[in-house]
Amino acid sequence: MQLWILFTIFAAFVQNFRFMLQRNMHLSGLTPTSATFARFIFGAPIAFLFLTFLLINLDYQLPRSQPKFFYFSLIGGLSQIFATILTIKLFAKRNFSIGIIFTKTEIIQTAIVGFIFLGEIISLYSALAILISFIGIICLSKPKTNLLISSGRHYFNQTTLFGLGAGAFFGTSSVGYRGASLSLLEGDFIIRAATTLAFVTIFQASIMAIWFIFKNRNDALKTLKLWRISGLVGLTGVLGSYAWFMAFTLQNAAYVRALGQIELVFTFLSSYFFFKERHTKTEIFGIALIILSIFLLLKMF
């Protein structure tokens, strides 16, 4: 099995666990922005220490950069902040699994953004897998209702907009991170991913800290006071991001995000066993279509 596949599956598993933690933080009273801040303020020191460990103990050299490394990093970093905030907002609109699933529109948007900015083209077979998953997402976009006749507003509502927005930002962040990692002038995928992760996470923590200082210091203090769970969010965030970044360095971002939908399997299990959430037949059918698309994609590799 190719390395990028292993990295993607691990990243998806860890990301699902992190979203579970952030959902609980939000339901405990933290705003979506505060729960997002926990991911970066505690993740930045871990990312920096890991990069330092590689440089000092494993004889890696810090890769030389070029201007577009910073351009791609900043776009990817800001996009991830907005995507995470919107995802946490989704948890208040729908249950855990459906909230996560809405963000998976990112695979289509990643393919589009990847083509525009990196010139990366996906195969016809992959396009078919993505189309099937998109149909699955449409099945999941309708809220539970007792009405016999459905109208367009049931599918295109605020929840859908949050999900599409989160997917768009996640897609943009994926392409940004791949572009940043590939723009480093030397080094293997390990040091490229670690360098990109450290720079991006420190930037994200800094920009959010500045925002909180001027806008809402109390929310920032609440996040810091919950340092046990916030620290775990930061740790899982760094582990997941590092795996994503290595996968992005090795493979087309659209393929990585498409396989990353395996997170939905972990999400469905978490939703059922931990949050005791139940799903309609239409939602289950939608989930089945998305899982089918994953198996179709894996057959390519």
Per-residue pLDDT averaged across 135-164, rounded? 60
Helix (H), strand (E) at residue 34:
helix 32-41
Q: What is the pLDDT of residue 149?
A: 43
Q: Is the pLDDT of residue 156 over 60?
A: no
Helix (H), strand (E) at residue 60:
none
Least confident piece of the model among 66-75, 111-120, 149-158, 246-255: 149-158
Q: What is the pLDDT of residue 89?
A: 81
Q: Is the pLDDT of residue 208 over 70?
A: yes
DSSP labels, 214-229:
HH-HHHHHHHHHTHHH
Q: Is the pLDDT of residue 246 over 50?
A: yes
Q: Is the pLDDT of residue 275 over 80?
A: no
Least confident piece of the model among 186-190, 266-270, 271-275: 271-275
Per-residue pLDDT averaged across 75-92, rounded? 86
**Structural domain boundaries in the chain:** 3-142+154-298
* Pairwise CA distance, residues 298 & 244, whole Å: 17
